[in-house]
């Protein structure tokens, strides 16, 4: 690491600056270089086994955003924000996917597939077991939420506003974005861009449980 | 913002540096000032409605860590890492909790409780509805995962290594940490500290799906 770590005051300044942006400036777009960095932050997110059981749907098409809008309680961020990402989580995991992932590890690290038998066995034992099936969509969604948490912090550090959004009807988003055919379902969404100068939420004091309540030390 | 944004290269350098640390240097402790900043990053995490339906259990007691160890498949991070955080998510939400949260908003922002009737109605309508009850633990766990994603990125920027951990038996963690009596269950854990110079995982190439596969632009 050369330019790292950053001072903790800088990190906390960004996290204090961040808030769930309700009104975006519809005229301001995230520059391509900054957006590319945010995409890379999503690529680098941690996930269970590293298997990335999700896809990121970036909705740039205005007409599609307008179709999504009524299924997100008409929240204007959906159409006004520079970018809209729908975190689409896998509804199940298959042997084909595990094989593909193992092949990718082998190719990336220049090792024989056979040397990864133990890792593959661990993954198969968990992800393909009968008992795991009902939990699989929740497990995949949780991995997507790690990516969301990472994205919110990354965006704040790059001076990009964001609004994490659970307030939508997944089944309708799924239909409009054709997710079930891909084995996916909309887990959560995030709009990103720049706050409108008129967003009254920007200046409200943050409401948080005190540390003494939020943390318990054993 | 004064010292922000940070260059995107700096963010990506931190995210590249981060990896799921398997071997921690048991002799190195996170300095108090750095740990306090990481606690503050958890305090500042985003959550649904802002209600923070979780508690962070910081396990410093060596004997307790040793009791947790066999229920985490003996993964040495549990005892060797400087810090161990168990993300304990609420198993349900009650009217008392919503009232307490509304009172906190009123107090923090200096507004009458009555002015928050609309917000309270929205929360109650969702969180106390019968249909929501089976989903409540999943919803709470997802919020905890946002905090996990935020913590992983925050730690990397501060030069602190981390290992997110799902590989443990929640029911056993719950028992040892007395979580059910508090309406909580262990959703995920994270060990933090400094990588051992002997951790061979530190230098392995990152395995990630290519952007063309991970992203779909509509």
Q: Specify whether the CB–CB gap between B190 and A149 falls below 8 A.
A: no
Any CB–CB contact under 8 A between B104 and chain A? Answer: yes
Q: Locate the domains of chain B by residue range.
A: 8-93+135-214, 94-127
pLDDT confidence of residue A8: 97
Distance (Å) from the alpha carbon of A17 to chain B's nearest alpha carbon: 8
Under the banding of pLDDT at 50, 70 and 90, the label for residue A1 is: very low
Q: Taking the model in full, what pTM does it have? A: 0.98
Indicate the pairing of strand B54-58 with strand A215-217: parallel
The whole-number average pLDDT for the span B123-152 is 96
Nearest of B129, B168, B135, B115 to residue B53 by alpha carbon: B135
With contacts defined as CB-CB under 8 Å, which chain B residues touch A141?
Answer: 138, 142
Residue B1 pLDDT grade (very low, low, confident, very high; cuts 50, 70, 90): very low
Would you tell me how many other CB atoms lie within 10 Å of the CB of residue B125?
Answer: 10
Which pLDDT value is given to residue B150? Answer: 98
Ramachandran angles phi, psi of A186, nearest 5°: -70, 115
Which residues of chain B have a CB within 8 Å of the CB of A218? 57-61, 64, 177
SS3 A178: coil
- CATH tag, B8-93+135-214: 3.40.109.10
Residue B2 has pLDDT above 70, yes or no: no
Answer whether A209 touches B (CB < 8 Å): yes
CA angle A69/A75/A79 to nearest 5° reads 55
- Give the β-pairing of A184-193 and A83-90: antiparallel
């Amino acid at each position: 690491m050369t330019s790292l770590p950053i001072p903790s005051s800088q990190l906390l300044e960004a996290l204090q600056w961040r808030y769930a942006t309700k009104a975006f400036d519809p005229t301001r777009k995230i520059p391509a270089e900054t957006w590319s960095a945010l995409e890379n932050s999503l690529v680098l997110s941690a996930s269970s086994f590293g298997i990335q059981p999700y896809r990121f749907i970036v909705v740039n098409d205005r007409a599609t955003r307008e179709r999504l809008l009524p299924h997100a309680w008409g929240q204007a961020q959906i159409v006004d924000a520079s970018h809209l990402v729908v975190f689409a989580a896998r509804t199940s995991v298959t042997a084909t996917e595990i094989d593909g992932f193992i092949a990718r590890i082998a190719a990336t690290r220049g090792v024989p597939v056979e040397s990864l038998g133990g890792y593959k066995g661990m993954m198969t034992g968990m992800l393909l077991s009968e008992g795991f099936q009902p939990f699989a969509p929740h497990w995949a969604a949780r991995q997507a939420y790690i990516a969301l948490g990472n994205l919110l912090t990354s965006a704040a550090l790059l001076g990009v506003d964001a609004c994490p959004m659970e307030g939508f009807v997944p089944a309708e988003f799924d239909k409009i974005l054709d997710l079930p055919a891909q084995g996916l379902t909309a887990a959560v969404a995030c709009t990103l861009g720049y706050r409108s100068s008129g967003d009254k939420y920007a200046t409200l004091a943050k409401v948080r449980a005190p540390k003494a309540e939020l943390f318990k030390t054993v």
